[in-house]
Structure 1
């Protein structure tokens, strides 16, 4: 009896299930079956997936506390997502579950939805698309709820989420209008009110209406049931008050965040404390209280994840309080925490760089600015500002390095033999101690490696992966890694990770002769490395070598003096460099400009006695110099000085424009000697190089540009020469002429050649030619004069676009005009004429069958 009874019950249940599965019947059983199935199956799993996706977003999102936080923690990606793709699989799953609920459980009968869970399904669909950053499809799903389910209990949520999507699409005005209507027409409260007012605050923030945003955040903070949200809203309120300059109101908002304590994420509380410290009044505030607060934050074990921010703020507090050494210590502590906040690192490096810059330690400032740029977005505004600072330091860092290294070498040169030996014996002892320590470290690493191998073999014989390859793969074996590091230092020295690290100049940094010696030690054999005589033998000994080092050092001093005086206005530093130069037996060309610059510095520093002595010395010893003329006639400084390098350069440039290349070259050479050591010299060199190229061709130009690029590498003209050498010269190297068939669209020039020309004869022929060309019909022709080389000039006729017409140019003239123009001519396309002028290969062109 029991078996048939169970079968009957099963049959009844299956019959009930079959009838209730229908989505076309508006029955109590059907409605509730689909509602319950949708809610506790598809929608339940969909909302679980949505929460997992939101958690993934929150974990990946990193708030930038240097700016006003966004209301909603959500990273917006600029990447374009193709249809069918998704940034987060959880949101895809949530969307699929929502779509499944709609497809399988919707009961649309006579135009009305009978399943009460469908509005929830469309809301899930809209949320999933919103978090997947597909805002237009999200709007479509949310608008469907407003259109199809106006009586739904989810209608207010749908309206809020629709406006969130509108804000993401930059429809802020529309969102504000709709949300204000919602708050006016509907009596909403609780979390719905918090969501509506918080997103309205975001719309106002996007519109830069800060005071109204603060009001809406106050409503949201009081209405929300989520303490995480409350802490965030209160903190943003404080940030906005700070932005408006209301520090007292900001501190009240931050106090409310602090009162939440463990009810809200600790980052908000720590950031609130730090923002209050930023608002501290150093004139009237209690510094002891702030010091105690910062100490407590630093020592609290719960704050370890936030020590990067705490250390930075302590450093900033000490800097503002005048304790520079403490500030440096805490900025370095903040950097050692290995913070995820790249902007925090950049601010630490920038502040340290600024401190070194203010202290005139420019080489270290440059290194800090390099580190700052590595933590900033390339080509962003902050990056460009720091790069400009760094570029200004490039020259001073270079010349300081040259001066320091060469000074160190010259000191070694001048040491007595006994002191040289003592110095390098001490150096070798240090090397031996370091080598012994490294050897012990290697042996310890080998022992540990052997023990680890035994343990691995004994306990996990079948293990696969990197650990099992410790005897074969280089980087998994500590012994080989340690050996490799040691060999690298031996061969290359201690070099920073940067482009072109192999260059020898990279090994000689600002560390003086110690770094240079370490480089020599790294390249030495094992026997030489610990022999003091080896290093003594490397000291320059010939007079030529020593003179070269001395000249480089002196020139570096001179350039440093000019840079400190003109660019950084560091007159004391500039004075020291010029005085060091004059005490170092400099070349004669540097003496007079150095003394004149010292005179100007003495005047700027108010050292009138020294200025008077310097002035008298220049006038007495160099009476014919330009500087003596200026000192005797100070009014020349305010008037136009025709003998100044600037004026002479302008006059020479006009000669260059007039193709007086020989004069330009000879005068440039004279001016380079006259003004040697001054900032105008590279300009004269560049003008000379250009004139040389125009007069003598490609090879001479290449040689002159190469000299300029090497000799004046750190000047704008030197950098321009480097660019020409790298990018322009390779495009000019081709000297093959273009065939007529390959230059169909080219213009053609009729060229009259004059050897050893007289200016009067050239001018007369050009005047006659111009008169003749006015009578040519159908063509608009004009002429010009070009210099080919020191002995040859061309008169060119322009305006012909057909090679055959150009070759029969004389036939365009009337019989009377033909008698006036009897000089022979040849024809060249514009491209070939350019090649002729660049490579000075006219003979080669005339020897081919072109005319």
Structure 2
């Protein structure tokens, strides 16, 4: 009886095993392999795939200042691989469904998912008479293709998708498979095929199956929008993004699509449409918070009327008070500042721009915009030195030197560099000349007041440091509190220690006696290092050290005046020609005209002032400078231009005359008469408004500067040529020289 039971059990087991063979088309076999495929293999593959996608989404950093990509992933075109084909049964030609691949160790979630998909296909595939009997195999091929897509192996992915489409035309996942195949083709720049296949899918489905799932429609329309982005068909992109956002089955992608749609409208300057899109996103309850908060930021950026600006200001202030928005404070403060700037509340705008800069965890790119806007505010207010400082901050913070906006800021900063330099020369030389003109008594009084003020500030700073340490010690760690009882200064050992060290550093080791401050009372055991530090500090309080630096020789003072006058003239020309600031140009040119400038500057000064007043319609003021030119310089080109403003000189004659002037100046340069070259170039440049030879004169001027002026001024002159005439031979030459100087 036992043998009969044993034989019966073996027979039943053998029958079950045989019926579950992948070669037998039975109900038991189909269901067994379908269940085993999913629960033993495919489930783990899908979990690994989900983990990989979550990792990509969490690790992707969006640049919210640029139009977002529809799919948040970056691929490297250089890593697209060509598959190796094989012929091992079903799935042959799909880039590795052979047994060797199943043994390869997975290096990431997508590789693991691909490994599981291949294993499911190989072990549980039931291809009988050309038909696949295991209903899970099409899911395995889809997982295989999607894993290869994220591994940037698009050609093998397409082969996997094609296998499903060719062999499982009625599969439940056929629509999703076609969508993924289209996405893979887009990545391979086959967007036209992707568009055609997606349109065919949607038309067929819309005709035959009205109940097409919303999730699939969203994916299809999103894929079409991706394809049209590659073809630069913005209208089509907007159309399919709108269709994709009718439903929100995939909340992450739906929110992203809404945001991109708003960005496109904003780029087209359709502020009302952009506002509607961002408003809709801000009210989308299921949207990830990062999209909702930035939708509110974009609403402020696209405010198109005053009433909307005021309502948005209130909304932004509420968002700022919300502690959950601390990571976004730099952007929120920035948008509040821009709204105040639009409303001409410039004081509030500056206040909030500075709050944006001080916000913790502020992004570098946001800081570049904030610094730039502050620079622009000061630039518009003709505060060029402050503007230059903020533009410099933009360049220091920015990491993208190729960005067009950063290059524009750099050009502004370079243009301001020479202006700042000349303004510093004027300010410094004015101060020295003014002090040199004072009597000995007045000079002593001036510097004594300066020293007294310096001492007061030093004492206040030292006392502040003492107070800070005393406060810190009384409220610091437990160990300090145990030894430093009370808040009184002399009960705080930390403050006492600092005070003693600071006293010895300044005064040295003094005996406790009367008149201890006198230098003769200094102890002989003062450390040399402390003595040197004390001596250096006391030099700041030494009246004689200041008085001996005042120039007394007439030649030196005259040189300072000449340089100051030249700087004022250069400033007048810069304000007139580069910055179109009529008031400052007049201020500098009229001032230098009253300071007895060199003879060579008088004619150009009068010509520039005549031009400014004439263009401004102030004929009475222009007449003064016109008469000066006609009376004192009747045979110059300037006089001819005034007498015959409508006359067109022969181009050849003009060119010949300019060439002749250039040759003469170049001859002077060869003779090492560099100052005369500079004077000659400055006198002829105002007449070369549209001349092709103007870059040559500017470069010759730079060369002359480089021969007898400091290196910094030489570099600034070269930078001026390189920036303003970058496409000319002279501009390229100036760049080459700059590169050599900067090495």
What's the TM-score, normalizing by structure 2?
0.73
For residue 489 of structure 2, what is the aligned residue in structure 1? none
Cα distance, 1:236 vs structure 2: 3.6
Cα distance, 1:139 vs structure 2: 1.2
The alignment of Structure 1 onto Structure 2 pairs a total of residues equal to 642
1:389 aligned to 2:442? no
For residues 82-121 of structure 1, what are the structure 2 equivalents within 5 Å? 89-121=108-140
For residue 422 of structure 1, what is the aligned residue in structure 2? 449
Cα 1:355/1:142, change in 2 over 3 Å: same
Are the equivalent residues in 2 in contact too, given 1:267–1:306 (CA < 8 A)?
A: no
Residues 380-401 of structure 1 show CA distances to partners (whole Å, capped at 9, x for unaligned) of 3333333333333232122223
For residue 178 of structure 2, what is the aligned residue in structure 1? 159
Cα distance, 1:724 vs structure 2: 6.9
1:256 aligned to 2:280? yes
Q: Equivalent residue of 1:72, what SS?
A: coil
Cα distance, 1:606 vs structure 2: 4.1
Q: 1:714 aligns with which of 684, 700, 716?
A: 716
With 66-75 and 559-568 compared, the bigger mean Cα shift is at: 66-75
For residue 226 of structure 1, what is the aligned residue in structure 2? 250
For residue 319 of structure 1, what is the aligned residue in structure 2? 341
Cα 1:20/1:189, change in 2 over 3 Å: same
Cα 1:722/1:198, change in 2 over 3 Å: closer
Consecutive unaligned residues of structure 2, counting only runs of 5 or more, are: 83-100, 481-497, 503-531, 686-693, 723-729
Q: Equivalent residue of 1:532, what SS?
A: coil
Q: Equivalent residue of 2:354, what SS?
A: helix
The whole-number CA distance in structure 2 between the counterparts of 1:243 and 1:147 is: 43
The whole-number CA distance in structure 1 between the counterparts of 2:127 and 2:351 is: 71
Cα distance, 1:559 vs structure 2: 0.8
Cα distance, 1:420 vs structure 2: 0.8
The whole-number CA distance in structure 2 between the counterparts of 1:727 and 1:712 is: 13
Cα distance, 1:257 vs structure 2: 2.3
Cα 1:532/1:10, change in 2 over 3 Å: farther
For residues 292-331 of structure 1, what are the structure 2 equivalents within 5 Å? 292-331=314-353
1:536 aligned to 2:522? no
For residue 141 of structure 2, what is the aligned residue in structure 1? 122
Residues 341-361 of structure 1 show CA distances to partners (whole Å, capped at 9, x for unaligned) of 554333323322222222222
Q: Equivalent residue of 1:539, what SS?
A: coil
For residues 685-834 of structure 1, what are the structure 2 equivalents within 5 Å? 706-707=707-708, 710=711, 712-716=714-718
Residues 1-23 of structure 1 show CA distances to partners (whole Å, capped at 9, x for unaligned) of x9x99999998998689657754
For residue 527 of structure 1, what is the aligned residue in structure 2? 535
The whole-number CA distance in structure 2 between the counterparts of 1:724 and 1:254 is: 49
Are the equivalent residues in 2 in contact too, given 1:376–1:382 (CA < 8 A)?
A: no
Residues 447-506 of structure 1 show CA distances to partners (whole Å, capped at 9, x for unaligned) of 9999999xxxxxxxxxxxxxxxxxxxxxxxxxxxx9xxx9xxxxxxxxxxxxxxxxxxxx
Are the equivalent residues in 1 in contact too, given 2:435–2:550 (CA < 8 A)?
A: no
Residues 492-539 of structure 1 show CA distances to partners (whole Å, capped at 9, x for unaligned) of xxxxxxxxxxxxxxxxxxxxxxxxxxxxxxxx9442224411762573
1:135 aligned to 2:154? yes
Residues 561-587 of structure 1 show CA distances to partners (whole Å, capped at 9, x for unaligned) of 111112222121011112333444544
For residue 63 of structure 1, what is the aligned residue in structure 2? 62
The whole-number CA distance in structure 2 between the counterparts of 1:295 and 1:673 is: 57
What's the TM-score, normalizing by structure 1?
0.64
Q: 1:579 aligns with which of 590, 593, 601?
A: 590
Cα 1:416/1:645, change in 2 over 3 Å: farther
The whole-number CA distance in structure 2 between the counterparts of 1:598 and 1:146 is: 80
Are the equivalent residues in 1 in contact too, given 2:705–2:714 (CA < 8 A)?
A: no
Are the equivalent residues in 2 in contact too, given 1:235–1:268 (CA < 8 A)?
A: yes
For residue 370 of structure 1, what is the aligned residue in structure 2? 392
1:207 aligned to 2:231? yes
Q: 1:267 aligns with which of 290, 295, 306?
A: 290
Cα 1:446/1:50, change in 2 over 3 Å: farther
For residue 357 of structure 2, what is the aligned residue in structure 1? 335
Q: 1:678 aligns with which of 658, 676, 683?
A: 683
Cα distance, 1:191 vs structure 2: 1.4
Are the equivalent residues in 2 in contact too, given 1:189–1:223 (CA < 8 A)?
A: no
The whole-number CA distance in structure 1 between the counterparts of 2:736 and 2:170 is: 75
Are the equivalent residues in 2 in contact too, given 1:665–1:688 (CA < 8 A)?
A: no
Are the equivalent residues in 2 in contact too, given 1:146–1:159 (CA < 8 A)?
A: yes
The whole-number CA distance in structure 1 between the counterparts of 2:448 and 2:5 is: 108
Q: 2:382 aligns with which of 337, 360, 365?
A: 360
Cα 1:664/1:554, change in 2 over 3 Å: closer
Superposition RMSD in Å: 4.8
Residues 240-278 of structure 1 show CA distances to partners (whole Å, capped at 9, x for unaligned) of 4555665545444434323323x2112332333344444
Cα 1:113/1:679, change in 2 over 3 Å: farther
Cα distance, 1:137 vs structure 2: 2.1
The whole-number CA distance in structure 2 between the counterparts of 1:92 and 1:446 is: 58
Cα distance, 1:650 vs structure 2: 0.5
Q: Equivalent residue of 1:180, what SS?
A: helix
The whole-number CA distance in structure 1 between the counterparts of 2:252 and 2:279 is: 16
Cα 1:588/1:529, change in 2 over 3 Å: farther
Residues 668-721 of structure 1 show CA distances to partners (whole Å, capped at 9, x for unaligned) of 87963863743659967976999xxxxxxxxxxxx9975589575433498768
For residue 73 of structure 1, what is the aligned residue in structure 2? 72
Residues 49-73 of structure 1 show CA distances to partners (whole Å, capped at 9, x for unaligned) of 2122211211222334444433322
The whole-number CA distance in structure 2 between the counterparts of 1:594 and 1:6 is: 122
Are the equivalent residues in 1 in contact too, given 2:81–2:155 (CA < 8 A)?
A: no
The whole-number CA distance in structure 1 between the counterparts of 2:145 and 2:735 is: 56
The whole-number CA distance in structure 2 between the counterparts of 1:289 and 1:46 is: 50
The whole-number CA distance in structure 1 between the counterparts of 2:105 and 2:604 is: 69
Consecutive unaligned residues of structure 1, counting only runs of 5 or more, are: 454-481, 487-523, 691-702, 730-851
